[in-house]
Amino acid sequence: MPKRYLVFRWCIYALATLVLSFFQLLVADHVSLYGITPFLAPMLVGVVSSYEGSRAGPIFALVFGVLCDLGTTAPAAGFFTFTFTLAALVAALVAERLFSPGFLCSLASTAVCYLITALARFVLLASSGAVGAAAVLAVEEFLISLPFLLVVFPVYRWVHQKTAIDY
Amino acid sequence: MKRFLTKHGIVVLSVATVVAVALSLLSFFSSNTNVLSNIVQTVSSPFRSAATAVTGWVEGIHSYLTEFDALQEENAALKIQIAEMEEQLRQAERDSEENATLRRLLDLREQRRELNMESARIIQEDTSNWASTLTLNIGDSFGVSVGDCVITETGDLVGVISETGSNWSTCTTIIDTDTSIGAQIFRTGDIGVARGDFSLMGQNRLQLAYLDADASPQVGDLVVTSGLGGYYPSQLVIGTVDEVMTDDDGLAQYAVLTPAVDLSALSQVFVITDFSIVE
């Protein structure tokens, strides 16, 4: 695959991610059900991994994780970098083995990403004794974020289709 | 699978681990915020300001169209409240004069309360379910430092500064689970710790824990900062008691507080950069 094409492809992915990050900031952050707001970052990692597989997916997750760590309030330094990369790797492996790329595949890898992110949070909270409350919160967050897959999935599918060429 | 992990998975994961460890070390060895984080936050600060301005504008239009009747009712209620408070103010002025006279007669040292404040605008509200933070548009260059209290124009406590950069700072609000502030029930003087709780954060509430066994909090009690230890100024309003509960072990009690400040409606706050209180 030519380098110039790769750069173009990932620039479009970056642009789509930027648009979806603004969507989180301008729309999703203002949606609240029982005090819980959707958190789309693990979903972005999950959907990209389901399309780009276990080679490019984790690299995207690594870069995205670093930016999340530097630009947002992370539970611990480097939390999103490590968690998102691991989540993308596992999600892509699960998706590759069980599904062909599509909505179901993205749904499965998204669920895996939320699960791994939640497990990482539980590890951090283990000493505080708040794991029970955190588990409830993680499930609620996943359920409230899930409908937004109907927004995130078409965006990345469009990017994947428009930039995919056979070699 | 094995071949893949050897070839790619482990490599990417190792890079992620190294980057995560590097970020942790940078964060650990930096006195305030690490350099990379400061650069990203400084560059993204104008964009976040713009996004906040856009949402504020849309919310303003929505409020204008939908809340006119409610505002009229609120205006009428506020006029009555102002009249009552003016009467209380006149009484307070008389009490204050009397207090000064009595202090002179008894040769008591006069109470002093000086708060140095910097005005700040909220450029981003982090509405994540796991943290409650606000990003402010002032930082190191305005003398803001970690641990400074953030209050509203009426003296209600918003939170505490947890990170600072050159032109930004992060305020961890009082409902965040990382927040823990010495508090006092104004009516009884009972001491406790106001702290965030995962199950209460979504409801915009917090907990008043570690109350003495003989404490007697009641619904509606005002809770203020205790000022013990001198870390934070005393008498900043945290909120009011909403519920009084008993711990799972049934031995201790705690109170659930509703903050005095509406965190979702804030746009302007004040950072207490220095204080001096003599009581």
Residues B181 and B217 reside in one and the same domain: yes
Residue B30 pLDDT level (bands cut at 50, 70, 90):
low
Does one domain contain both B90 and B210? Answer: no
A72 has a chain B CB within 8 A of its CB: yes
Which among A55, A69, A137 has CB closest to B8? A55
* pLDDT of B31 strictly over 60: no
More reliable by pLDDT, B4 or A58: A58
> Which of A26, A67, A137 lies nearest to residue B54, judging by beta carbons?
A26
What is the Cα Rg of chain B in Å? 23
Task: Write down the pLDDT at residue B4.
Answer: 57
Q: Are residues B95 and B129 in the same domain?
A: no
3-state secondary structure chain B: CHHHHHHHHHHHHHHHHHHHHHHHHHHHHCCCCCHHHHHHHHHHHHHHHHHHHHHHHHHHHHHHHHCHHHHHHHHHHHHHHHHHHHHHHHHHHHHHHHHHHHHHHHCCCCCEEEEEEEEEEEEEEECCCCCCEEEECCCHHHCCCCCCEEECCCCEEEEEEEEECCCCEEEEECCCCCCEEEEEECCCCCEEEEECCHHHHCCCCEEEECCCCCCCCCCCCEEEECCHHHCCCCCCEEEEEEEEEECCCCCCEEEEEEECCCHHHCCEEEEEEEEEEEC
Predicted pLDDT at B225: 92
Question: What separation, in Å, do the N-terminal and C-terminal C-alpha atoms of chain A show?
Answer: 7
Between B46 and A19, residue with greater pLDDT: A19
**Do residue B36 and residue A82 have CB atoms under 8 angstroms apart?**
no
Q: Is B263 found in the same domain as B229?
A: yes
pTM of the predicted model as reported, rounded to 2 decimal places = 0.72
B179 interface with A at CB cutoff 8 Å: no
Sign of the alpha-carbon torsion through B234, B235, B240, B244: positive
Token pair, residue A134, equals 């955190």
For residue A12, what pLDDT is reported? 92
pLDDT given for residue A18 in this prediction? 92
Residue B264 banded pLDDT, cuts 50, 70, 90: confident
Say which of A70, A82, A134 has its CB closest to residue B17.
Answer: A82
Which pLDDT band holds residue B57 (cuts at 50, 70, 90)?
confident
Statement to judge: residues B254 and B221 lie in one domain? yes
Give the type of residue at B236.
L
Determine contact: A96 vs chain B, CB below 8 A. no
Stretch A81-95: mean pLDDT? 89
Q: Is B152 on the interface with A (CB under 8 A)?
A: no
Asked whether residue B35 falls in the same domain as residue B166, the answer is no
Q: Give the integer Cα–Cα distance in Å for A101 and A136.
A: 30
Top-confidence residue, B270 or B165: B270
Residues B227/B234, Cβ–Cβ less than 8 Å: yes
State residue A146's pLDDT score.
94
What is the reported pLDDT for B33? Answer: 61
Residue of B nearest to A79 (CA): B20
Structure token digits, residue B218: 């009641």
The pLDDT score that the predictor gives to residue B279 is 60
Specify which residues B209 forms β-bridges with. Answer: B193
Closest by CA position to B232, among listed B276, B189, B269: B276
- Same domain? For B136 and B215 the reply is yes
- Asked if B32 and B71 sit in the same domain, the reply is no
Does A22 reach chain B within 8 Å, measured CB to CB? Answer: yes
**Domain boundary, last residue among B18, B33, B58:** B58
CB-based contact (8 Å) between B130 and chain A?
A: yes
**Cβ–Cβ below 8 Å for A82 and B20:** yes
Q: Encode pLDDT of A29-84 as tens digits.
A: 888 888 888 999 999 999 999 988 888 889 999 999 988 888 777 788 789 999 99
pLDDT score of B114: 77
Q: Which domain holds residue B81?
A: 67-110
Contacts of B211 (CB under 8 A, 6+ apart): B190, B191, B192, B217, B252, B253, B254, B255
Whether chain A has a CB inside 8 Å of the CB on B136: the answer is no
ipTM, 2 dp:
0.74
pLDDT of the residue at B149: 93
Q: How many CB atoms are closer than 10 A to CB A18? A: 11
Alpha-carbon distance A90 to B275, whole Å?
51
Same domain, B264 and B164: yes
Chain A residue nearest residue B50, CA to CA: A26
**What is the band of A131 on the pLDDT scale with cuts at 50, 70, 90?**
confident
Average pLDDT of the residues of chain A = 87
How would you classify residue A129: left for phi > 0, otherwise alpha for psi between -120 and 50, otherwise beta? left
Percent of chain A with pLDDT over 90: 45
Q: Is the pLDDT of residue B278 over 70?
A: no
CATH number at residue B199: 2.40.10.350
Shared domain check, B129 and B261: yes
Task: Count up the domains in chain B and report the number.
Answer: 3
pLDDT per residue as tens digits for the range B62-80: 777 777 788 888 899 999 9
d(CA B193, CA B209): 5
Note whether B11 and B100 are same-domain residues.
Answer: no
Per residue in B77-102, pLDDT tens? 999 999 999 999 999 988 888 888 88
For residue A91, the chain B residue with the least C-alpha distance is B9
Which of residues A155 and A3 earns the better pLDDT score?
A: A155
Q: What is the pLDDT of residue A63?
A: 93
Asked if B29 and B126 sit in the same domain, the reply is no
B177 chain-A contacts, CB cut-off 8 A: 128, 130
Mark B220-238 as b/e (b = at least 16 C-beta within 10 Å).
ebebbbbbeeeebbbebbb
Question: pLDDT tens digits, residue range B165-211?
Answer: 888 899 999 999 889 999 999 999 899 999 998 888 888 899 999 88
Confidence check: pLDDT of B123 > 60: yes
Residue A3 pLDDT exceeds 80: no
Domains of chain A: 3-163 (1.10.1760)
pLDDT, position A60: 92
Question: Radius of gyration (Cα) for chain A, nearest Å?
Answer: 16
Sign of CA dihedral B208, B209, B211, B215: positive
Residue A144 has pLDDT above 90, yes or no: yes
Contact, B162 vs B132, CB < 8 A? no
- The H helix count followed by the E strand count for chain A is 6, 0
Name the band, by pLDDT with cuts 50, 70 and 90, for residue B272: very high
User: Which of A70, A114, A139 is most worth mutating to test chain B (most B CB atoms within 10 A of its CB)?
Assistant: A70
Q: What percent of chain B has pLDDT over 90?
A: 28
Q: Chain B 231-270, CB below 8 Å of chain A: which residues?
A: none
pLDDT at A166: 53
